[in-house]
Amino acid sequence: MWRMEDVLDLYAQPYDTKHPQVCFDERPVQLLGETYAPLPMSKGKPRRQDCNYEREGTANLFMMVQPLMGWRMVKATPHRTKLDFAQCMKDLVDLYFPEAEVIRVVLDNLNTHTFAALYEAFEPEEARRIARKLEFHYTPKHGSWLNMAEIEISVLSRQCLQQRLPSLMALSENVTAWTLRRNRQAVHIKWCFNLDNARSKLIRLYPQ
């Protein structure tokens, strides 16, 4: 239970520019092309799309979200490897939160989500530089719902991925436009589940 309480403790803290909390997650995406060109929307008729489609492979989306700022970043990649994960961590440190002393990252226990990934991707000095600015907070096994990035991925899926995207470029363009729009609106995530809720509603999970 300590992992759940660790994450909930982190969520209860106010935003700190020197120690921001960032939730991180990913999801696969199937790339689909059209067999026949869709018929465009016309007066009194919606856009029409043939039920047949062509499989164009798969891609991956990395989601990084700071819920208290109303900020998120989505990165489309061909794969979901340790090297891809390491590059996302480098981007957090160097591009998105360069003024932070330590970035506290909430993530699940996927085997790519390790500090070792940094050492596979970069030279030891560079890997250590990045690692010094990261603090990982893992969700419990079977408790990935505690990661607020899953909420943002759900919104992205409903608002952006309910269409056929035939290539990595098309996927990237669509998620970038969605991200820019949502960041302009500064949409925050209001997290209501706290330690008191956990200790009352999940009491069966605590040692007796």
**pLDDT tens-digit map of 42-84:** 676 665 555 556 777 999 999 999 999 999 999 999 999 999 9
pLDDT confidence tier of residue 105, bands split at 50, 70 and 90: very high
- Please say whether the structural domain 2-33+52-205 has been given the CATH code 3.40.50.300: no
d(CA 168, CA 179): 16
pLDDT digits (tens, 9 = 90+) for 139-165: 998 889 999 999 999 999 999 998 889
User: What's the pLDDT score for residue 199?
Assistant: 81
Task: Report the side by side order of strands in the sheet with 103-107.
Answer: 71-77, 53-66, 21-34, 103-107, 134-138
Q: Which residues lie across from 64 on neighbouring strands?
A: 24, 73
Strands 71-77 and 103-107: unpaired
Please say if the pLDDT value at position 36 is more than 60. no
User: What's the pLDDT score for residue 196?
Assistant: 82
pTM assigned to the model: 0.88
Of the candidates 159, 145, 146, 164, which has an alpha carbon nearest to the alpha carbon of residue 187? 159
Cβ pair 122, 90 in contact under 8 A: yes
pLDDT confidence tier of residue 208, bands split at 50, 70 and 90: low
Three-state DSSP at 204 gives helix
